[in-house]
Amino acid sequence: MSNSRRGAAFWISTWGPVVLAIAVICLESTEAMGADHTSGPLHRLFEAIFGRIGEDSWNLIHHIVRKSGHFIGYGLVGLAWFRAWWRTFTSASYFRCMLFALLGTFLVASGDEWHQTFLPNRQGQFTDVLLDCTGSLVILSMTFLFLRVGHSRALLLREAASRRPN
């Protein structure tokens, strides 16, 4: 189907997840979501589930949780970008759409970190941009492998079915 024949519903369902992902990043890039504001509630939740923990141990866990959030969150952002490009350019290769998705992820992550340099309790770090892009790359690569293995398995099942005597 050509781009000119696609309706508003197609474009909204295709690019809506990208807009939603960027909106979530914008919400998380606020002063209220800084480490100084998330530590207390997350610490209480952690202790309610696992029991008391020392401050030094908590600081390490909190850091890991926040960085894991970057990795997984931006992995999902990259997946939203990929899906939108894949649906928009139906004849494009997986890798071309993956490159566009990584570029989109890089731009959003860079804008996010740059924005944080203006907040009193946040600091923009290029290492976070690299972590974000790595999360995107890993999730996109895992998706490729999953689709590739699934496609190969479907071909094998079809071939096996065609060999069965009737």
Is 45 exposed, middle or buried, given 0-12, 13-18 or 19+ CB atoms closer than 10 A?
A: exposed
Tell me the pTM. 0.85
| pLDDT tens for each residue of the chain, 166 residues long | 555 678 999 999 999 999 999 999 999 999 999 999 999 999 999 999 999 999 999 999 999 999 999 999 999 999 999 999 999 998 999 999 999 999 999 999 999 999 999 999 999 999 999 999 999 999 999 999 988 877 777 766 676 676 666 5
Four-residue CA torsion sign, 94, 100, 102, 108: negative
